Structure 1
């Protein structure tokens, strides 16, 4: 016959398991579905842990813009702040978010709190503790490639914290390798050619991103978008795969040609350039 202490431990364990089973599974929560009928980019709710991968470190600004663009939509009267976490040494190398740039992006710099940690363990500790704060709408953490402290166990703990608190966590990652993680969503992001100005087609216009969904809940097909930033947030460009939103490919040339100085050259100037090329 089991001892009384053993019976008490078994009863406590059964109660713990029953409590876990009563909680709804994350994958079954309806508002976490990323599939859309019309192919447009979905507006994601809070409480998600998202990995944002970009192949090259030089694209870190594009990743930060995408994360802040999502975090901006999560700000409310009660959740008034977004945290940006970065290692101190990385801040010296890559810089920090720029206040006037945030304003042009429609993001109030007063709502962004900068945290610079000494090492990755401290950074992950700050992220986990900040997830418990109900005044935080989102946390953007500049993680890098594959830091040792961020193993599957740590990512699982962060994932559960985000789902429980309703605060979104955006992990900025770099490189082409992938490791197992408990992130709800994983993106592959790259900069895209910007939009055009109404009165000057050669001037850079609205920021654009090329986005591919590598991991997500309720995926039934490969999903990717080209997003453009507007006053109302992200706007997915329709039919961009058909070439309507990107420059048309030109046929290859059989021999070298001198580059034109600008698109505004007259036809006579172009003819002279072609004649010079033929004489070479």
Structure 2
């Protein structure tokens, strides 16, 4: 039988847990997102997000979704994005490609690569990095489930992210959803690319389908088809057919383009 002193301690502990469960970072997110315009919202920092895709071959799409958000979080004070991946997983999934990042407007010199030998070191590096206020985001590419990456570990990272203002992204694979403290959980699948102006058979801008499985950022919508543009993520549903095929309307006459690159008079 519990003594009165033990009951008081348990009651105090329950109060502490209740304060943590209120998740002030997520509450702030809902308030800020509610004021956004139509389309996919620009999410603030300080969140722990999970990005699930069914197969490792979709790793590039998951990374692109995370980096598109991370790019919007970078400032003069937050100048770095850290990418963590176990050394043994690099051969299977590959690593971010510098010239590819440049082509989508992301400076590869702002990315720091960390390849720990085991999951314990990876989680330690993630926790130390997300606490640094010069870091805009930490992206951890987790190919396989691991016992060390449990609810407690994710809770620690989520609290660190909320305190520092940097965002933590876990790239995960498969159909299983282990318990975690992530405020937002996404399911991502590649989609057919946009049409290329003047050549319907050539691939255009990359697109993917994103569904919000956990969390709440906008009550009336939990699924988007997104396109990566030089200005960030674009919601295809909010574009007109002309914009999705040919980009924004032109404000003045310009020389005609062939193959979307070469001038007609070149």
TM-score by length of 2: 0.78
Question: What's the CA shift string for 1:229-259, capped at 9, x where partnerless?
Answer: 111100001179xxxx8xxxxxxxxxxxxxx
**What residue is the counterpart of 1:220 in the other structure?**
219
Question: What's the CA shift string for 1:126-182, capped at 9, x where partnerless?
Answer: 000101111110111001242111111111111111111100011000001112211
**What residue is the counterpart of 1:72 in the other structure?**
71
Q: 1:34 touches 1:217 (CA, 8 Å); kept in 2?
A: no
Residues 87-96 or 219-228, more deviating: 219-228
**What residue is the counterpart of 1:58 in the other structure?**
57
**What residue is the counterpart of 2:175 in the other structure?**
176
Residue 201 of structure 1 deviates from its aligned partner by 1.3
Residues 210-219 or 122-131, more deviating: 210-219
Runs of 4+ with >6 A deviation: none
Question: What's the CA shift string for 1:51-88, capped at 9, x where partnerless?
Answer: 00001111111101111111111111111110000000
**What residue is the counterpart of 2:95 in the other structure?**
96
Matched, 1:116 2:115: yes
Residue 94 of structure 1 deviates from its aligned partner by 2.1
Larger Rg, first or second structure (1 or 2):
1
Q: 2:57 touches 2:93 (CA, 8 Å); kept in 1?
A: no
Residue 218 of structure 1 deviates from its aligned partner by 4.8
How many Å separate the matches in 2 of 1:33 and 1:187?
A: 19
Matched, 1:231 2:230: yes
State the number of aligned residues: 232
How many Å separate the matches in 2 of 1:219 and 1:197?
A: 31
SS in 1 for 2:77: coil
Q: 1:47 touches 1:167 (CA, 8 Å); kept in 2?
A: yes
**What residue is the counterpart of 1:151 in the other structure?**
150
**What residue is the counterpart of 1:278 in the other structure?**
none
SS in 1 for 2:200: coil
TM-score by length of 1: 0.74
Question: What's the CA shift string for 1:252-273, capped at 9, x where partnerless?
Answer: xxxxxxxxxxxxxxxxxxxxxx
Question: What's the CA shift string for 1:3-29, capped at 9, x where partnerless?
Answer: xxx9xxx8xx79x95xx68x9733432
**What residue is the counterpart of 1:268 in the other structure?**
none
SS in 2 for 1:53: strand
Residue 200 of structure 1 deviates from its aligned partner by 1.3
Unaligned runs of 5+ in 2: 245-266
Unaligned runs of 5+ in 1: 1-5, 246-280
RMSD: 2.9
How many Å separate the matches in 2 of 1:145 and 1:178?
A: 12
Residue 93 of structure 1 deviates from its aligned partner by 2.5
How many Å separate the matches in 1 of 2:117 and 2:81?
A: 20
Residue 45 of structure 1 deviates from its aligned partner by 0.7
How many Å separate the matches in 1 of 2:134 and 2:59?
A: 27
Question: What's the CA shift string for 1:197-240, capped at 9, x where partnerless?
Answer: 11211111101010000011355355100001111100001179
SS in 1 for 2:202: coil
How many Å separate the matches in 2 of 1:238 and 1:221?
A: 14
**What residue is the counterpart of 1:192 in the other structure?**
191
How many Å separate the matches in 2 of 1:136 and 1:144?
A: 23
